[in-house]
Chains A and B, each alone.
Chain A
Amino acid sequence: MSGGNEKWLDAYHDPVASLYTFTQCLTLSDIQADGDWKLIVADLGTGSYDMKLKVYKNTTLMSEHTIIDLPTGVVTFYMDTLEPRTPAIAVASGPYIYVYKNLRPYFKFTLPPLDIHPMEEDLWNQAKDDQVNVFSMRDMLESLRQEGCSLTVRTLRLLQLEPNNIEAFVNVHKNTPLKKQTVITCLTTMKKSVADEDAISCLVLGTESKSIYILDPEAFTVLATMDLPSVPVFISVNGLFDVDYRIVVSCRNGCVYTLKRGSKDVTKHMIELNSQPVGMERINKNIYVACMDETLHCFTSKGKKLWTVRMPASIMTLEVIDYKPRSFAGILVSLSNQEVHIYKEKFLVDVLKMDDVVTGMRFGRFGREDGTLVMSTKRGGLYVKILKRTAKFEERDMSAGPPAAQNVKLNVPRKTKLFVDQTQRERENGVSMHRTFQRDLALLRLKVMREYVKALDNSMNPISSDPMEPIKLSAHVQGIGPTFKFTVKLQNTSLTQACSNLLITFDYDDKLYDFRKKLVQVPMLVPGLTYDFETFVDCLNDKGVTENVKVYVLKPGKSVPIITGVVSMPVSESIVVV
């Protein structure tokens, strides 16, 4: 895998551009209709001040406008058919959309206000006429809040205040009418009636009040409103407003909904994700969703999951790479380990190693170059990379899929008469066969249990069942005869208890074998260790007869051995007389 240097030219890098932004607030557009595409960035600044709309021509800052509130999205769109074809810039910020034309403020659109809770409105009206004590008002508002009612920003601010500041706050604000506004969470465009590159587009926006609005670009009226079960965060649109369209929205509740023109039931095409979405993009009919659990999923537009890829680090943002000259379409995934991965479908085709975590990416035409990737980073850097003319993205490991052998058809033999008869019989007598089997199984289990009890009674097993003498025995015979080496291993299996005063003896046919040590004195057995006791055995018969030998571990004063081991002796070689 290349480090990205073979495919990308490093056109520009400024690690201290102090540009703090996200993918949604970056866009590339030919705003002056001169063939030189500009980079338009809504800079979030510090998050509380210094919010700016910046336009870069080439790599120099061309214009700068202050934005009053935090921007949540920037798009460019054609709002008229005038020549030259200069698109307008729309910046979503709070409940407003600021429209800039020719880099000058042109229009401010305000979202329609929401309905205020009647009780809340009533309270503020009373406060206006000084009919209510501010503290009792606060208590009532607080109880409203606890009931889970959605309140205005003014009320919420009041509830946060210290008691001694409340009166002043109420006096300042009580005379202005109470308004409840929502906040735009995502913004995109949709062509209105023609699919041309420079056709008039509508603005499509999602709000904190769980709705989607479609705005007319000329009159700035709301053309359509749709409601969702949750707050939309990422939005993707295709189609034409006047013909047919599809809006794919991923929401904060971890679901992806597809809205069609005229459809009311949003839950019909719903994709439930395992985790919250951090990015969503669409290539043709496939929806790519990146989740907080470090996974990238691909779904069809019908909501069927195609595949999932697990990433090595958390995903920061997603961007589509659609490079028409090479007809390459892929997905760029920025990760928290300072890498940008490029996937063509589910195959990783390239990795870009960056100096910083990339938070915003936009691929497209910048300046006069088609394949440009503009990236902004967490520490405020701006990076521009250009795709080489000769770059080729190769799908590497096709082996990631199912192995080839899986597709080979097996030569399954034809069904024989016997097979058919058996199947027939099994099908007819299934119940009785099952009963017979169950009965035999029960009998087998009973027999096993009986044998086990018998073995326990006679201490015929090599592991002691007596908790006082927890010993394990194993015995080995080595050699080819007629003299064998007989090894008995004893292990104390308890954790703490030592065993002492034991004896080992052997039970054998004395016409056949002769043990040189007939009785072994066992020393104290320390828990856990294995002790070896060896003796030599002479085979007295050269006819190849063998017999089992039993090893007993005995304790003085007990009539039954503690454990018993049975060793089958090997056939002895005959005595060779030299």
Chain B
Amino acid sequence: MGFFDSLAQWLGVRKKEVNVMVLGLDNSGKTTVINHFKPPETKNHDIVPTVGFNVEKFKSKSLAFTAFDMSGQGRYRNLWEQYYKECDGIIFVIDSSDKLRMVVAKDELDLLLQHSELKNRRIPVLFFANKMDVRDAVTSVKCSHLMGLENLSDKPWHICASNALTGEGLHEGVDWLTDQLKEVLERKKK
């Protein structure tokens, strides 16, 4: 089996697999973001608050993603750290219309970045400033300022404004993450 796998990868038929975690506060749109990447026949139309976490698979142009769609509710946030070890990238979804809880999102991000599993890894972090369509949403620049991203220098990160309902901005973000992860994988090979 191992031989066929590597052969398929070498031929470019089978894509490399990466694990990413989708994190963020409750109601920020994590499940909706993931839902957008799923093939049309498996798309969910009713999105309900996630309990615990869901594992979803989707493909970008050159990588196969296994996304851990974590629940953002306060009582499930302590589950996040259980999966830090296995993940290659992080997608952090921010509700850019919820100014009040921006500090909570920042607090959770700080806890995440200070965690012993992630502290010393150069793991790419993709931020989605989601819900950009909402009337009183802040811009992605303001959002990155509120989240204190300018102080995040030891990890590659990228923020893009998105609207998970229409899919605006999502592909741009995932393309960036794909490039970053490929770089990491290549470096690992060497």
Does chain A have a CB within 8 A of B27?
yes
How far, in Å, is A63 (CB) from chain B's closest CB? 15
How far, in Å, is A559 (CB) from chain B's closest CB? 96
Residues of the A chain whose Cβ atoms lie less than 8 Å from the Cβ of B74: 325, 370, 389
Residues of the A chain whose Cβ atoms lie less than 8 Å from the Cβ of B165: none
Does chain A have a CB within 8 A of B77?
yes
Bound CA span A85–B7, Å: 60
Does chain B have a CB within 8 A of A367?
yes
How far, in Å, is A524 (CB) from chain B's closest CB? 83
Residues of the B chain whose Cβ atoms lie less than 8 Å from the Cβ of A407: none
A369 touching B100, Cβ below 8 Å: yes
A369 touching B101, Cβ below 8 Å: yes
Does chain B have a CB within 8 A of A209?
no
Residues of the A chain whose Cβ atoms lie less than 8 Å from the Cβ of B101: 11, 367-369, 386
Which of B99, B104, B108 is in CB contact (< 8 Å) with A58?
Answer: B99
Does chain B have a CB within 8 A of A167?
no
Does chain A have a CB within 8 A of B111?
yes
A-B CB contacts (within 8 Å), total count = 49
Does chain B have a CB within 8 A of A366?
yes
Residues of the A chain whose Cβ atoms lie less than 8 Å from the Cβ of B75: 325
Does chain B have a CB within 8 A of A60?
yes
Q: Interface size of A by Cβ–Cβ distance < 8 Å?
A: 20
Chain B positions 92 through 135: 1 when the CB is less than 8 Å from some CB of chain A, otherwise 0: 00000111111110111001000000000000000000000000
A384 touching B100, Cβ below 8 Å: yes
Name the residue of chain A whose CB is nearest to the CB of B103.
A9
A386 touching B103, Cβ below 8 Å: yes
Interface residue SS majority, chain A = strand
Residues of the B chain whose Cβ atoms lie less than 8 Å from the Cβ of A386: 100-101, 103-104
B26 touching A368, Cβ below 8 Å: yes
Chain A positions 388 through 399: 1 when the CB is less than 8 Å from some CB of chain B, otherwise 0: 111000000000
Name the residue of chain A whose CB is nearest to the CB of B135.
A60
A-B contact pairs, 29 of them (CB 8 A): A9-B103, A9-B106, A10-B103, A11-B100, A11-B101, A11-B102, A11-B103, A12-B99, A12-B100, A58-B99, A60-B136, A325-B75, A367-B98, A367-B100, A367-B101, A368-B26, A368-B101, A369-B100, A369-B101, A370-B74, A384-B100, A386-B100, A386-B101, A386-B104, A389-B74, A389-B104, A389-B107, A389-B108, A390-B111
Which residues of A are interface residues toward B (Cβ below 8 A)? Answer: 9-12, 35, 58-60, 325, 366-370, 372, 384, 386, 388-390
Give the top 8 A-B pairs by smallest Cβ distance, nearest first: A9-B103, A367-B100, A11-B103, A58-B100, A11-B100, A9-B107, A368-B27, A59-B100
- Using A11-B100, A59-B99, A386-B101 as known contacts, list a sample of 12 further A-B pairs with CB atoms less than 8 Å apart, ordered by residue number in A: A9-B104, A11-B102, A58-B98, A58-B136, A325-B74, A325-B75, A368-B27, A368-B101, A369-B104, A370-B74, A384-B100, A386-B103
Which residues of B are interface residues toward A (Cβ below 8 A)? Answer: 25-27, 74-75, 77, 97-104, 106-108, 111, 136
